[in-house]
Amino acid sequence: MTQKMAENNIKCKGPKLHKGQQRIVNSIINTPSKYNIVNASRQSGKSFLLKQLVLYYALNNSKYDILIVSPLISQNLKIYDEIVNAIINSGVIKRNNRSEKQIELINGSKLSFKSAENYDGIRGGSHDVVFCDEFAYFKPDAWTLAIRPTMAAKKHSRAFLFSTPRGKNEFYDMSMRGQSDEETNKAYKYFYMSYKENPLYDLDFVNDCKLHYPSAKFQQEFEGLFIDSASVFEYNDCAIVDKYKEPEEGVVYYAGLDLARKKDKTVLTIMNDRGDVVMMHSIGGISWTKIVEGVVAILKKYNAHCIVEVNSIGDVVYEMIEKVYQNISPIFTSNSSKQEYIESLIYSFNAVEISIPTKGLNDNLHLELDVFEMTYSPKTRKVVYAARPGFHDDEIISLVLANKARKDRKSSGEYLIYVGGEAI
């Protein structure tokens, strides 16, 4: 693509696009639609195309207000940095501010980068073009309540929604409208871009993933299919806890504590001997002393046997807790042991032997469960479980540890019973 800033007699020539990217660009430019939905498989060049379109509209239009939204701030900053690095020496940047996440060009166009994580910060704007990256991973209502209304004041505003599928959610609905022949959906246009159209895709990596991924996950990630059951955790039948419960006499309680690292939160999960989650406590941004005080108060309340991961900072915090609460055990995790514990939770979900909070009670847990991934490393030839890059898994790990505590104690026969506020 070639972009021209006529007022300043500057021409910017972008890199050559592969045939899939060029096909989409030709259609977008020649037959414009208000809502453009791009379903792009892994390794198809999705992110590269998004950034090229951002620059195309910013450089070819004076005083355009462009919004770029990602699921999380960390992903948003990555796109910001890559766009700045691409044009930093071109002379087209008037001002850029990473802390404000804004770029202003010499033609008056402005690029704003925001996150759908806290979509209240998007409200109130007015934009000519909106780009949404990994749209399928946006929080529910981010599009309808915050992002879409920012287009209302601009008659010719346009939106570009890029993503790989993640079940049948808002991205699925928009994709269906883009493929519909109904008159009410004429403003929507759907595109699919396959990794096979990208001459630089890694064939060995794709073949390894096809061999080791569950078929549903491969179809979703690499073939662009909208599949309800492609996530690691099939938990819907277990999401029935609509209210946390106070301690009950005669009931044994177990706990899993995942300690904060960097921007994560410390999460404590309490589970009874029937497998019901009765409490999930999430806290961050305060001192370790305050965190320990809050955690210990809840553990004493339920008299729960607690497992704490102590791989890094955990050993120091564990000692702080143990001084005032002894019904606690440390655990060191490796990649192989973490895989074992997570697969134990997968089994518990599949067997419907546990119950977890509903989405209304704990929306963050459901988001983490939905974006938790199983990836395959061709180098080590091992399966790796982890949160999708840019997302968190602290609530999942806390739940994993609580479930392990419950299973370990039940299988070994060691237990404490809570009666009248005392353990017997």
pLDDT higher than 50, residue 416: no
In the predicted structure, residue 3 carries a pLDDT above the cut 80: no
Predicted pLDDT at 65 = 96
Range of the domain at 144: 2-203
Q: Which of 6-15, 55-64, 166-175, 324-333 has the lowest mean pLDDT?
A: 6-15
Reported confidence tier of residue 310, pLDDT bands at 50, 70, 90: confident
If asked whether residues 377 and 333 sit together in one domain, one would say yes
| Residues whose CB is less than 8 angstroms from the CB of residue 88 and which lie 6 or more positions away in sequence, other chains included | none
Element (H, E) at 332: none
- Considering the domain architecture, whether residues 177 and 291 belong to the same structural domain is answered as no
> Which letter, b or e, does each residue of 287-313 get, where b requires 16 or more Cβ atoms within 10 Å of its Cβ?
eeeebbeebbebbeebbbbbbbbbeee
How many Cα atoms occupy the beta-carbon half-sphere of 209 within 13 Å?
18
- Start-to-end CA distance of the chain, whole Å, equals 74
Residues 6+ apart with CB under 8 A from 324: 292, 296
Strand 129-132 versus strand 158-163 pairing type: parallel
415 falls within a domain: yes
Q: Which of 178, 203, 228 corresponds to the end of one domain?
A: 203
Instruction: Give one DSSP letter per residue of 254-313, joined into a string.
Output: EEEEE---TT--EEEEEEETTSBEEEEEEE-SS-HHHHHHHHHHHHHHHT-EEEEE-SST
Looking at per-residue confidence, does 111 or 382 come out higher? 111
Q: Is 101 left (phi over 0), alpha (psi -120 to 50) or beta?
A: left
Domain count, the chain: 2
Q: What tokens were used for 117?
A: 């994580």
The answer to whether position 218 is within a domain reads no
226 in a structural domain:
no
Q: Are residues 166 and 54 in the same domain?
A: yes
pLDDT, position 97: 95
pLDDT score of 154: 85
Flag whether 137 is in a domain: yes
Radius of gyration of the chain (CA): 25
Q: Is residue 216 part of a domain?
A: no
In terms of pTM, does the model score above 0.85? no
pLDDT in tens, 193-211: 999 999 999 998 898 888 7
Q: What is the CATH number of the domain that holds 45?
A: 3.40.50.300
Please give the share of the chain, as a percent, with pLDDT higher than 90.
Answer: 58
* 146 in a structural domain: yes
pLDDT classification of 415: cutoffs 50, 70, 90? very low
Does one domain contain both 244 and 352?
A: yes
